[in-house]
């Protein structure tokens, strides 16, 4: 799929932007802090309905212009063409900053509205309409940083592919917040632990499908990643991906977690996962009350990369990590296309600068097969002249876009 | 502000009500200041003072007039005292009464179990409900808490407490709104309606 038109209003440093967006490669060139990444952030928001970097969504709304009233509305509007559909679709997100009570001149409360083809929809109904794959700089952090980053990554990818994933995740988080609040109360003031019954059941009900989807996705990625990684390393190394669910329905109470479980876990029906997860939550209540928090569940999941059987985060070189993440991103593109039947839009933020010539060539060969690729760079000279000639180049300057050249052999 | 103090005080009092901001509060105050509103002012003052005399019914914990230990529903000899409908708030009683089909009694919890707000079983009228059921005569308890996470949690907790007492415990059905359109029903409602479908 590809974007035909993108409009932004009061989004980050864009007061107003309205541009037709071409097929093929689009190079966004500009100095630092001119709004290159903000554009990618806006586009990725349409795929995941979450920012990949803002702590609060209200920070996305342009809000510092003097004399601007409260409420302030940020808007992302995109027209995009999906493969096999006759007419383009239109997706609009309104981020409305409102005062949070009387006297809140900072407009701290955020309300979101999502419109599909002009009709207001629930967020979960709009999820999956538009798909994108995002390549961020410092990508080795996915390997080395805390598990939270890997979980966020899983959530952003899987919610685009499994229609009910986002809904289950929201329900799971709501139940988790309440269960943890109750555990804290029971820890501090005591009380009837039977109050946990309902929350245990809710956690199991929504957590089980999350575990099942993550297991399925990671099992499929692992099969795909061998090929893509072999290709990148010229068959020298074997990369494995293993899912480490914080609660494993087959290894209850045991610490032994083998990569092989990836495939085994996909054979377990979701009802059985729910049953086992529920039983484990009930069994570990005492521990949970003592700690005042829920100790097992998808909110503590992780996955890990192994290179030639060694944990990459511990033993890998920076180059090996980079290759592994690159392989994963290529798998993500492939997998998303297979599952949805549509090529996702690619968003690459300053990514090529981190790669050596060979990997860069390999990635470029891959991305040009997509219908639309957005690339940001501070330095257009870093690209091969042929590549630049075939691309559309936009110059970005303080939130203003000026098209420099259109793609050579495309229109 | 250069308004006389009584006016300022009235505005502040109105603004303390839920759903009323400073603008509405001023508008209400100035409406009451009109000459024609003198009678209304007295009626209001009297009505508000009257609220001090409202007490809880000692049986169902709905509101009742002072000096009356029981509310009109609990006093009514024609109502089935073996059937209790448990609700979160007094307004829920009014809603069910308006249907005109319920002939049993009520029990008002004054809230729902809410871990986030720190509301536990001891903060609700749950012990009183158990005492009522244990006193005998009750054959069915209908749990009519809201169909929210907190309402469902409360319902499940009550069910656990009541089930061992050997009485029938039921929960309001979940289904499609009258005059609604199946196509536009949200997934959860539709799922509930399917699960709780009825034989015709």
Provide ipTM, 2 decimals. 0.73
> Which of the residue ranges A196-200, A274-278, B15-19, B41-45 would you say has the lowest mean pLDDT?
B15-19
Angle B4-B8-B10 from CA coordinates, rounded to 5°: 120
How are beta strands A400-405 and B168-171 bridged, if at all?
unpaired
Residues A64 and A190 in one domain: no
Cβ–Cβ gap B115/A178 under 8 Å: yes
Q: Are residues A244 and A264 in the same domain?
A: yes
**Cα A327 to the chain's mean position, in Å?**
16
Closest CA to A71 of A111, A101, A94, A98: A98
- Which residue, among A127, A177, A195, A206, would best test binding to B if mutated, counting the most B CBs under 10 Å from its CB? A195
Is B109 a member of any domain?
yes
Domain contains A52: yes
State the residue range of the domain holding A109.
2-131+342-405
3-state secondary structure of A402: strand
Cα(A317)–Cα(A323) distance, rounded to whole angstroms? Answer: 10
From the list A17, A28, A26, the residue with the least C-alpha distance to A78 is A17
In a domain, B1, yes or no: no
Confidence of residue A65 (pLDDT cuts 50, 70, 90): low
Asked whether the predicted pLDDT for residue A298 surpasses 80, the reply is yes
- Identify how many contiguous H helices and E strands chain B contains and give both numbers: 8, 6
Is B183 within 8 Å of chain A by CB?
Answer: no
What tokens were used for A172? 């799971």
Which pLDDT band, with edges at 50, 70 and 90, does A51 fall under? very high
**B186 and A197: CB-CB below 8 Å?**
no
The pLDDT of residue A57 is above 60: yes
In terms of pTM, does the model score above 0.90?
A: no
Rounded to an integer, what is the distance from CA A189 to the centroid of its chain? 39
How far apart (Å, rounded) are the C-alpha atoms in residues A394 and A376?
A: 10
The CATH number linked to A374 is: 3.40.50.300
Same domain, A177 and A274: yes
The reply to whether residue A195 touches residue B153, judged by beta carbons under 8 angstroms, is yes
List the pLDDT tens digit at each of the 200 positions of chain B: 588 999 999 999 999 998 888 899 999 999 999 988 899 999 999 999 999 989 999 999 999 988 889 999 999 999 999 999 999 999 999 999 999 999 999 999 999 999 999 999 999 999 999 999 999 889 999 999 999 999 999 999 999 999 999 999 999 988 888 887 888 888 788 888 898 888 99
**Quick one: A199 and A308 in the same domain?**
yes
Q: Does any domain span residue A329?
A: no
Residues A82 and A176 in one domain: no
Domain at B153, CATH number? 3.40.1360.10
**Contact between residue A13 and residue A26 where contact means Cβ atoms under 8 Å apart:** no
Which pLDDT value is given to residue A409?
47
Q: How far apart are CA A273 and CA A333, in angstroms?
A: 29
Asked, for residue A319, whether it belongs to a domain, the answer is: no
Q: In the predicted model, is pLDDT for residue A270 greater than 70?
A: yes
pLDDT at A367 over 90: no
For residue A186, how many other CB atoms are within 10 A of its CB? Answer: 21
Distance separating alpha carbons of residues B66 and B103, to the nearest angstrom: 25
Mean pLDDT of A239-260: 72
User: Is A322 part of a structural domain of the chain?
Assistant: no
Both A79 and A156 in one domain: the answer is no
C-alpha span between A54 and A131 (Å, rounded): 20
3-state secondary structure A66-96: CCCCCCEEEEEEEEEECCCCCCCEEEEEEEE
Residues of A in contact with B152 (CB under 8 A): 198
Nearest CA in chain B to A168: B188
pLDDT band at A68 (very low <50, low <70, confident <90, very high): low
- From A291, A303, A310, select the one nearest A246 (Cα to Cα): A303
What pLDDT was estimated at residue A308? 83
Q: What is the pLDDT of residue A99?
A: 78
Which residues, in sequence order, are bridge partners of residue B85? Answer: B106, B142
Q: Name every chain B residue with its beta carbon within 8 A of the beta carbon of A201.
A: 156
Count structural domains, chain A.
2
In a domain, A334, yes or no: no
Binding-face residues of A in 111-150 toward B, CB within 8 A: 122
Mark whether A118 and A152 lie in a shared domain: no
Into how many domains does chain B fold? 1
Chain B residues 71-130 with a CB less than 8 Å from chain A: 113-116, 118, 120-122
Residue A151 shares a structural domain with residue A299: yes
Q: Let me know whether A162 and A304 are in one domain.
A: yes
Q: Is residue B96 part of a domain?
A: yes
What are the chain A neighbours of B119 within 8 Å (beta carbons)? Answer: none
Q: Are residue A19 and residue A108 in the same domain, yes or no?
A: yes
A111 SS3 class: strand
B76 CB-side CA count, 13 A: 12
Q: Identify whether B141 is part of a domain.
A: yes
Q: Pick from A238, A246, A237: which is nearest to A215 by CA? A: A246
Task: Indicate if A300 and A169 belong to the same structural domain.
Answer: yes
Angle at which helices A196-233 and A165-189 pack, to 10 degrees? 130
Report which secondary-structure segment, H or E, holds B115. none
A175 contact partners, CB below 8 Å, separation of at least 6: A199, A202, A203, A206, B149
Instruction: Give the CATH number for residue A179.
Output: 1.20.1050.90
The answer to whether the Cβ–Cβ distance between A191 and B121 falls below 8 Å is yes
Residue A45 inside a domain? The answer is: yes
Q: What domain range is B91 assigned to?
A: 76-171
Query: Which pLDDT band, with edges at 50, 70 and 90, does A261 fall under?
Result: low
Does residue A120 lie within any of the structural domains? yes
**Chain B nearest-CA residue for A164:** B187
A202 to chain B, any CB pair closer than 8 A? The answer is yes
**Residue A304 CA: distances (Å) to CA of A185, A242, A243, A253:** 35, 5, 7, 20
Sign, CA dihedral B28-B32-B35-B40, equals positive
- With a CB cutoff of 8 Å and minimum separation 6, the contacts of B72 are B64
Among partner residues A181, A192, A198, which is closest to B156 by beta-carbon distance? A198
pLDDT at A355 over 90: no
Cβ atoms of residues A72 and A107 within 8 Å: yes
For B53-172, strand residue ranges (E) read 54-56, 63-65, 80-87, 104-108, 140-143, 168-171
Task: Say if CB B168 and CB B139 are below 8 A apart.
Answer: yes
DSSP labels, A332-381? HHHHHHHHHSSPPEEEEES-GGGS-HHHHHHHHHHHTTSSEEEEEES-GG
How much is the average pLDDT of A42-60? 91
Same-domain check for residues A28 and A151: no
Is position B144 within any domain?
Answer: yes
Q: Single out the residue of A326, A369, A118 nearest to residue A225, CA to CA.
A: A326
Interface of B with A in 17-56 (CB under 8 A): 21-22
**Of residues A177, A189, A195, nearest to B157 (C-beta):** A195
In a domain, B55, yes or no: no
Q: What is the pLDDT of residue A255?
A: 45
> For testing the chain B interface, which of A173, A198, A282 should be mutated: the one with the most B CBs within 10 Å?
A198
State residue A98's pLDDT score: 83
Put simply, the answer to whether B115 touches A182 (Cβ < 8 Å) is yes
Of A242, A193, A200, whose CA–CA distance to A221 is shortest?
Answer: A242
């Amino acid at each position: 799929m590809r974007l035909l038109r993108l409009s932004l209003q009061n989004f980050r440093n864009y007061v107003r932007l309205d541009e037709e967006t071409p097929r093929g490669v689009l190079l966004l060139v500009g100095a630092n802090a001119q709004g290159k990444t903000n554009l990618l952030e806006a586009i990725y928001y349409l795929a995941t309905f979450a920012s990949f970097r803002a702590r609060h969504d209200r920070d996305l709304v342009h809000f510092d212009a003097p004399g601007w009233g409260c409420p302030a509305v940020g808007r992302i509007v995109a027209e995009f063409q999906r493969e096999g559909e006759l007419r383009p679709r239109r997706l609009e997100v309104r981020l409305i900053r409102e005062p949070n009570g009387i006297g809140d001149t900072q407009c701290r409360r955020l309300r979101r509205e999502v419109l599909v083809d002009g009709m207001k929809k629930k967020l979960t109904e709009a999820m999956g309409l538009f798909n994108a794959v995002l390549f961020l700089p410092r990508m080795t952090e996915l390997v080395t940083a805390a598990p939270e980053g890997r979980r966020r990554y899983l959530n952003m990818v899987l919610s685009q592919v499994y229609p009910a994933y986002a809904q289950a995740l929201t329900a799971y988080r709501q139940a988790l917040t309440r269960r943890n609040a109750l555990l804290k109360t029971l820890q501090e003031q005591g009380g009837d632990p039977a109050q946990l019954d309902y929350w245990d059941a809710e956690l199991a009900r929504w957590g089980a499908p999350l575990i099942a989807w993550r297991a399925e996705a990671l099992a499929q990625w692992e099969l795909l990643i061998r090929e893509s990684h072999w290709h990148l390393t010229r068959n020298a190394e074997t990369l494995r991906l293993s899912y480490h669910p914080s609660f494993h329905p087959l290894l209850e109470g045991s610490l032994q977690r083998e990569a092989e479980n990836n495939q085994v876990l996909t054979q377990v029906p979701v009802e059985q996962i729910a049953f086992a997860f529920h039983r484990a939550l009930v069994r570990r209540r005492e521990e949970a009350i003592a700690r005042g928090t829920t100790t097992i569940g998808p909110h503590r999941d992780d996955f890990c990369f192994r290179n030639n059987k060694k944990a990459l985060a511990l033993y890998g070189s920076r180059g090996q990590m980079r290759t592994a993440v690159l392989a994963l991103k290529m798998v993500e593109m492939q997998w998303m296309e297979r599952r949805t039947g549509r090529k996702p839009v690619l968003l690459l933020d300053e990514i090529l600068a981190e790669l050596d010539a060979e990997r860069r060539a390999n990635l470029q060969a891959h991305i040009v097969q997509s219908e639309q690729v957005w690339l940001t760079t501070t330095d257009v000279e870093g690209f091969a002249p042929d590549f630049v000639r075939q691309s559309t180049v936009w110059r970005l300057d303080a939130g203003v876009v000026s098209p420099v050249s259109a793609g050579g052999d495309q229109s | 502000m250069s308004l006389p103090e009584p006016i300022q005080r009235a505005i502040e009092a109105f603004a303390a009500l839920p759903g009323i901001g400073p603008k509405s509060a001023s508008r209400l105050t100035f409406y009451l200041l009109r000459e024609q509103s003198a009678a209304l002012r007295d009626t209001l003052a009297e009505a508000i003072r009257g609220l001090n005399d409202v007490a809880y019914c000692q049986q169902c914990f709905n509101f009742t007039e002072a000096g009356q230990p029981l509310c009109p529903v609990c006093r009514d000899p024609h109502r089935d005292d073996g059937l209790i409908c448990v609700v979160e708030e007094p307004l829920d009683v009014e809603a069910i009464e308006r249907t005109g089909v319920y002939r049993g009694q009520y029990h008002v919890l004054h809230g729902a179990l809410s871990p986030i707000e720190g509301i536990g079983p001891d903060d609700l009228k749950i012990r009183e409900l158990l005492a009522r059921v244990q006193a005998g005569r009750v054959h069915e308890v209908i749990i009519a808490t809201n169909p929210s996470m907190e309402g469902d949690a409360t319902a499940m907790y009550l069910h656990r407490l009541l089930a061992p007492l050997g009485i029938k415990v039921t929960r309001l059905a979940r289904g499609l709104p009258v005059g609604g359109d199946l196509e536009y029903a949200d997934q959860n409602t539709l799922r509930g309606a399917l699960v709780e479908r009825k034989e015709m």
